[in-house]
Structure formats: structure tokens, C-alpha cells
Homo-oligomer: A and B are copies of this chain.
Amino acid sequence: MPENDKQSLSMVTCTAPVNIAVIKYWGKRDEDLILPMNSSLSLTLHQDQLKTTTTVACSRNFQQDRIWLNGKEEDISNPRLQSCLQESILWRLNDFDCNGTCTSMTSCSPNDDDDDVKIWFVLVYTLSQLFGVESEQLSAVARQGSGSACRSLYGGFVQWKLGEQLDGKDSLAEQVESESYWPELRVLTLVVSAEQKSVGSTSGMHTSVETSQLLKYRADVVVPSRMEEMIRVIRERDFPAFGELTMKDSNQFHAICLDTYPPIFYLNNMSHRIISLVHRYNQYYGETRVAYTFDAGPNAVIYTLQDHLSEFVQVVRHFFPPEVSGEEFFKGLPVCSADLSEELKKDINMEPTPKGIRYIISTKAGPGPCVVKDPNHHLLGADGLPKKSVISD
């Protein structure tokens, strides 16, 4: 739906959410089509706390396709970008009113996430809005940029189905339950102190497919039954079962990384400590009240229920005393303050690690991508170039 397809300039701005997998995607069965070795399942997070925004402008007056990510111009010949744009060229040829040249500007909030996964997804989504592409084609196109991002196409719990067809046409994202299905569910992202950068997820999973003997067994035998179980426990809103399976699948994904040659380490000592804290906390209560999951990096994502949120945040503050206070440390949905019993602190029995966690983002489930109506929120000006206010951000 171009904003103005009678004139020479069309512009549309969209926001897209982040998704966090509870059954992990790791390994492609087809590198060209980006087809996964196993199905995966994630929760889409709320965009009030984490989102990616893209504006695409299209005009016959522009001289060349250009793209900016977080204010920095990117090389248009980047293969993954080309893969997205080639699809967009097809759309453009079908749309005579819009036969022009595009510029695009994407920005992530918060700005410190260096994963470009979300960027490709929101770009494809915004192009699809600009050119009026059907949403059922979108999942397959979004996959071209980054596989797991296609799960951001819907809100709530979303599965990316393995599919059976050779051409991958049935390897699509599908909503399992909407963002309002399990309202008590809460999500904390614990951003740990950064050390050296590890292997990127695209090359990492390629090496795993080439070298890990355990990966095929995971994909063929373990994940299919875990997918069934995960969908069941989500539908039953069974937190202990959901949390345990989430933790097991995170651990198995990192086990596969270790079984890769050379091995890939995404978890560091801080990640190990967070894992240990979660297990000790759950052990204290004799049930799984809190669960962790880790993607291709050391930051923990914590799932818990509203009832246990404030105490667990206090536990994290106690065992990882922050360097900074207030909103610099704790961002997003607020939590009540909570007192910790001496018994709990004693039972957890861990040495506090000051400054181990840089900050926390508190959020919950949220909807899929949105089109932004207010033209003030466009990231590009009428000339197709980033607005000054965006560049200086």
C-alpha cells in the first residue's frame, strides 16, 4: 500500500519484532533456499521494548538503489541483500505505478544489537507492503534474508515448519497461539558483559552441518518429538514443562556447537553462572519457575510468569550487583520491588559477581510487524535520503 502512488514518490515505514526461539533452528538442509534441517518455535517479543524500523522510499527520480542500516550506508552488492532485492525487483516489474528506484533506511531499538538478522526481515516486510505482496508469499521470501527471522511474521508463539517439498514452498512460518494466549508469561533479556566476538550464526551453522555427527540425530530424532511436546505444553500453559523443555533445547543447541569442528562457544563464564543461578532458584522451590535460553551469544533470555518476576529480578540484582542503577540497568516493563529471604540467598549459595550483567530488558509477548501510519516517523525524507535526525541518533 504505497502512501502516495499517484505522485512520483512512494514511501512506507514498518516496524518488526524480535523473536526468541524455545526450540532452536540450527542447520540448513538447503543453503540456497535457506531450508532448515528441523522445525523451530519461538515467542515474538513486544515491540514496545525491542523493535526494528524500516522506511522504504521508491521514486523514478532516484538515481540508484541505496540502503542504510542504523544510519550507516551499506554496500548494495551484499549477497544476502541482493537476495532480498532480487525478489523485490520481481515485485516491482509487476507494479507499473511503482517502477522506480528504492532507498531504504533501517534502525534497531535498542541500538546496540549487532545482529543483522532482524534488519533483513523488516526490509522484506516493508518492501512487501510497498509493493502490495500477498502475505502468504512473505514467509518464503523473508527466509532468503535470514531463516529464523521469518518467525517474526506473526505475534505470539510461532513455528517455522520444516516442510517436505524440495523447493521449500511449504517451509513456512505459522502462528501456534497469539500474543494474548498466555498473558502471565514474561521475558527478561540479561545482557552480559561483552567479551570477544564469537563465530556468526550463518557460518557457525554451516560448519555444524559439515562436522557435527550429533546434529543430524538432533534434527531427525530429537526435535520432531520436542516440537510436538512444546506445542502441547504451550497450549496447556504448563510453565514447568515449557521451561524445562526450553532449557533442554537451548543446552542441546549449544552442545551441537561444541560438537562442531572447530568447536563454537557462545556461552561464557557469565552465561554459565546465570544457568547455575536459574537451576538453584528452581531447586529451592522444587519446581521450574524460571527458564533460560541462549542464542548465538552469551546473553540470557529468561522466561518466567508474572507471579515470580519481581522476586527473580531481585535475585539477579543480588547475585549480579549492577554497576549502574535505575533505568540504565533495568529497562522496559517495570517490576515491583521484592525482598529476598535470607534462606533463599543462603540456599542459592553463589558468590555474587559484580557488574556481570550490564542491563536487563523486561518485556512480554507481542504482535507481528506493523505499518506505521504517522509520516513523522518515516526515517527517510522526500529526497530518499535519511533524515538528519536519524543519522545523528
CB-based contact B222/A247 at 8 Å? no
Q: A351 — which chain B residues lie within 8 A by C-beta?
A: 196
Please report the C-alpha to C-alpha distance between residue A211 and residue B252 in the assembled complex, in whole angstroms: 11
Please report the C-alpha to C-alpha distance between residue A211 and residue B221 in the assembled complex, in whole angstroms: 15
In the complex formed, the residue of B with least CB distance to A268 is B269
**A273-288 near B? 1/0 per residue, CB < 8 Å:** 0010001000000000
In the complex formed, the residue of B with least CB distance to A250 is B263
Q: A214 — which chain B residues lie within 8 A by C-beta?
A: 214, 217-218, 222, 252, 255
Please report the C-alpha to C-alpha distance between residue A263 and residue B247 in the assembled complex, in whole angstroms: 9
Q: Does A251 contact B (CB under 8 A)?
A: yes
Q: Does A181 contact B (CB under 8 A)?
A: no
**A252-265 near B? 1/0 per residue, CB < 8 Å:** 10111111111101
CB-based contact A258/B251 at 8 Å? yes
**A346-369 near B? 1/0 per residue, CB < 8 Å:** 000001000000000000000000
CB-based contact B258/A258 at 8 Å? yes
Q: A135 — which chain B residues lie within 8 A by C-beta?
A: none
A255 interface neighbour in B195, B221, B258, Cβ under 8 Å? B258
Q: A263 — which chain B residues lie within 8 A by C-beta?
A: 251, 275
Please report the C-alpha to C-alpha distance between residue A256 and residue B269 in the assembled complex, in whole angstroms: 18
Q: Does A237 contact B (CB under 8 A)?
A: no
Q: A248 — which chain B residues lie within 8 A by C-beta?
A: 211, 261
Please report the C-alpha to C-alpha distance between residue A260 and residue B275 in the assembled complex, in whole angstroms: 13
Q: Does A235 contact B (CB under 8 A)?
A: no
Q: A251 — which chain B residues lie within 8 A by C-beta?
A: 258-261, 263
Residue of A256, A257, A262 with highest tally of chain B CB at under 10 A: A262
Please report the C-alpha to C-alpha distance between residue A347 and residue B251 in the assembled complex, in whole angstroms: 32
Q: Does A213 contact B (CB under 8 A)?
A: yes
In the complex formed, the residue of B with least CB distance to A214 is B214
Please report the C-alpha to C-alpha distance between residue A268 and residue B64 in the assembled complex, in whole angstroms: 50
Please report the C-alpha to C-alpha distance between residue A218 and residue B261 in the assembled complex, in whole angstroms: 16
CB-based contact A252/B259 at 8 Å? yes
Please report the C-alpha to C-alpha distance between residue A221 and residue B220 in the assembled complex, in whole angstroms: 15
Residue of A258, A275, A351 with highest tally of chain B CB at under 10 A: A258
**If A214-B218, A217-B214, A218-B214 touch, does A272 touch B265 (CB 8 Å cutoff)?**
yes
CB-based contact B269/A213 at 8 Å? no
**If A214-B217, A218-B214 touch, does A255 touch B259 (CB 8 Å cutoff)?**
yes
Q: A254 — which chain B residues lie within 8 A by C-beta?
A: 258
In the complex formed, the residue of B with least CB distance to A217 is B217
**Extra inter-chain contacts (4) besides given A251-B260, A255-B259, CB under 8 Å:** A214-B255, A248-B261, A251-B258, A251-B261
Q: Which 4 A-B pairs have the closest CB atoms?
A: A255-B259, A255-B255, A255-B258, A262-B279
Question: What are 24 A-B residue pairs whose CB atoms fall within 8 Å in the complex?
Answer: A196-B351, A211-B248, A213-B218, A213-B222, A214-B214, A214-B217, A214-B218, A214-B255, A217-B217, A217-B221, A244-B261, A247-B262, A248-B261, A251-B258, A251-B260, A251-B263, A252-B258, A252-B259, A254-B258, A255-B255, A258-B258, A263-B275, A268-B269, A268-B272
